[in-house]
Amino acid sequence: MLHAAVAAAAAMASARLAVSAPLRTLRQSGDIDAALQARVDAGDVPGIVAMATNAQDTLYQGAFGLRAQGATAKMTVDTVFRIASMVKLLTTVAALQLVEQGRLKLDEPAAGIDPALADLQVLAGFDARGVPQLRPPRKAVTLRSLLSHTSGFSYPLWDADVVRYLRAARSDPALPHSVLMFDPGSRWSYGGSLDRVGRLVEIVSGVTLDRYFRDHILHPLGMNDTGFTITEQQRAREAHLHVRRSDGTLEPQPLEKHTAPRKFSGGGGIYSTAPDYLTLLQALLNGGSLGGTSILHPRTVGLMADNAIGNLDAGVMRTTNPAISNDVDFFPGVRLRWGLGHMINLDPVEGGRKAGSLTWAGLYNTYYWIDQASGLAAVVMMQILPFADARALAAYRAFERALYRARDAA
């Protein structure tokens, strides 16, 4: 996943550059600038873009630092980022559009659409020799369980049993490549469910996922900087990935080699900008419509925000590869659930979002949230590994707290 390291980073002082365009809808937007600039000045992040909106207007936008540490290109609001799992929200919207049309059903077996989901097995454990023990699932995988991450699919990055199973499967070709870690609906685990949802969208719509996104979400909303491929002009605006070394410093990586994909993932692999993604969030904050364009009905947007997993715990993940991800617990002590497409905090976050807010993130430390009770949505983008990097999260929290202070003072 990582590219070879480039030459050693230049002094941190070279990153003390900022381009900020706060919209004076918030009287104290200068405090937000200062909070973000301080994180760049401290060397915690090489560059950051943050934006916030209400249902009508962009409230704040700011860009600070550099696209690549040690280089000269300043971070700008229109910088292109790899947003990884934040594509899952687009995939969810696509699937729910098809639910509204009656072409997909939330609670029918998904294998009726995609036969690849028909013969799944559940990992019941390992015998004394370490051989995986498989059994049929007690419930069928449904679109609802896929969208809420209760399907049984789990990522190896946060599930040691998946790592162990895949190791066994590599040495035994008789074992299926993919299995469920539990019966659908019995647990929550973050995994590749949205890849399967993306495939359902392709089968039902008859077009590739990138085409579906473009025709039904991206172009209608004017999200012209979002896609699985980028142009040379967009690549010239792309931020570099940075890797956190053991001593806390950051090492910039070369831009990834970009080739046009033949297959498209509903769970990752997409590019976007903060303004583009904020447009999607604003549409959802408005009940599914923006500027006369409707992508979802208000009742469907409401359904996305409902707790879809009951009393199952969600959101806390233990890493199997600290180079790629830290342990994930964004809101220690806060009860977390999952809706259709978002994580939900059942309790308010001190100094920030209200209870019932919606959120998720991308592997390279890009984040969003929708606080319906406050009428706010926001996005913050960085390009750092590992995921849930402590200093990147501190910048994220600093932005959130400063935003709510400014809002309360407005």
**Pair 392, 45: CB distance under 8 Å:** yes
**Pair 360, 396: CB distance under 8 Å:** no
Give catalytic residues, as residue numbers: 85, 88, 190
**Pair 409, 59: CB distance under 8 Å:** no
Q: Which residues contact 399 (CB under 8 A, 6 or more apart)?
A: 32, 35, 36, 48, 50, 378, 380
Neighbour-count burial of 328, counting CB atoms closer than 10 A to its CB (0-12 exposed, 13-18 middle, 19+ buried): middle
DSSP string, 338-366: E-SSSEEESSPPTTSPPTTEEEEEETTTE
In the numeric block, the tokens 């590994």 are attached to 385
- Which SS3 state, helix, strand or coil, does residue 18 take? strand
How far apart are alpha carbons 36 and 351 in whole angstroms?
16
Cα distance between the two ends of the chain: 44
Both tokens of 127, joined, read 């015998």
354-359 long-range contacts, CB within 8 A, separation 24+? 356/305, 358/304, 358/305, 359/330
Identify any residues that bridge with 377 across adjacent strands, giving them in sequence order: 53, 370
Q: Which residues contact 324 (CB under 8 A, 6 or more apart)?
A: 1, 157, 363, 385, 386, 387
Q: Is the peptide bond before 252 cis (omega within 30 degrees of 0)?
A: no
How far apart are alpha carbons 30 and 409 in whole angstroms?
12
How far apart are alpha carbons 251 and 382 in whole angstroms?
14
How far apart are alpha carbons 34 and 109 in whole angstroms?
51
Amino acid at 307: N
**Pair 18, 63: CB distance under 8 Å:** yes
How far apart are alpha carbons 359 and 337 in whole angstroms?
11
- Beta strands 366-371 and 18-20 are unpaired
